Amino acid sequence: MTAEPISPVQLRPLTVAEYLAWPGDPERRYELQEGSIVMTSRPGIGHRDFLGELYVQLRPQVPPHLKMIMEIDLDLHLVAPTRPGTVRVPDLLVVTADAHLRVSRDGGLLRAEDTVLAVEIHSDSTKRTDTAIKHSEYADAGIGHCWMIDPADGPSLTACHLAGEFGYINASPVRGEITLPAPFPVDLSLGALG
């Protein structure tokens, strides 16, 4: 019997810089939540197919001053860099082209202030985290728009937008052929996603 290697134990809450230096296990997916390392489930094939189809539908509609990226670390910048931080891995991000170029050229992380849209696709193991925790964190980080997509509900898309001090206002879930005006005009066929 062979035991799986165990990643180094986290002894205290980590800053974002410490998290980036942490060795982890490349076969696993991690996020940083208020300084604590959280191992999350890797998306299954159905989730990846769904995400891929969403990407295919969205890509030609993204304006040239923006870039779309799947499953990449995002520093939410909820606290000062010397404090325990939060890094999330949204299913899909739309960020400024300048931020995309900066990270491509110089490395580092994309930041919440670079982000125009964060998208979470729910699964049984992530729905609560997506709709309660990440929803609040993205609003607190100032991300203007967030889509919560539930493949098991039609599928359905709930578009959320910032409303000042009140956090996100959630639109009613929509299904089928939809048109959304913000953060940029987009037409989607939700039924074709999965």
Residue 24: pLDDT band by 50, 70, 90 thresholds? confident
Sequence ranges of the domains in the chain = 44-73+86-193
- DSSP alpha helix (H) spans, the chain: 16-21, 45-58, 97-106, 127-128, 135-140
Listed residue (165, 157, 83) closest to 120, CA to CA: 157
**Contact (CB, 8 A) for 14 and 85:** yes
Structure-model confidence comparison of residues 22 and 172, the more confident one: 172
What is residue 58's predicted lDDT score, i.e. its pLDDT? 98
For residue 174, report the phi and psi dihedrals to the nearest 5 degrees.
-120, 155
Residue percentage of the chain with pLDDT more than 70: 95
Tally Cβ neighbours within 10 Å of residue 157: 22
Among positive and negative, which fits the CA dihedral 105, 106, 110, 113?
A: negative
**Contact (CB, 8 A) for 139 and 166:** no
CA dihedral 62, 72, 28, 131 (to 10 degrees): -70
Number of H helices, E strands in the chain: 5, 14
What is residue 28's predicted lDDT score, i.e. its pLDDT? 84
Check: pTM over 0.75? Answer yes or no.
yes
Q: What angle do CA 53, 54, 60 make, to 5 degrees?
A: 100
Mean pLDDT of the chain: 93
What is residue 10's predicted lDDT score, i.e. its pLDDT? 65
* 43-57 average pLDDT score: 94
Distance CA 84, CA 115 (A): 21
DSSP 60-73: GGS-TTEEEEES--
Tally Cβ neighbours within 10 Å of residue 126: 18
Give residue-wise pLDDT tens across range 99-131: 999 999 999 999 999 999 999 999 988 899 999
Write out the two tokens for 186. 């987009």
Under CATH, what is the fold of the domain 44-73+86-193? tt1808, chain A (3.90.1570)
Nearby residues of 141 by Cβ (< 8 Å), 6 or more positions away: 76, 77, 78, 112, 115
Give residue-wise pLDDT tens across range 69-84: 999 999 999 999 999 9
Residue 166: pLDDT band by 50, 70, 90 thresholds? confident
Residue by residue, what is the 3-state secondary structure of 125-181? CCHHHHHHHHHHHHHHCCCCEEEEEECCCCCEEEEEEECHHHCEEECCCEECEEEEC
**Contact (CB, 8 A) for 64 and 74:** no
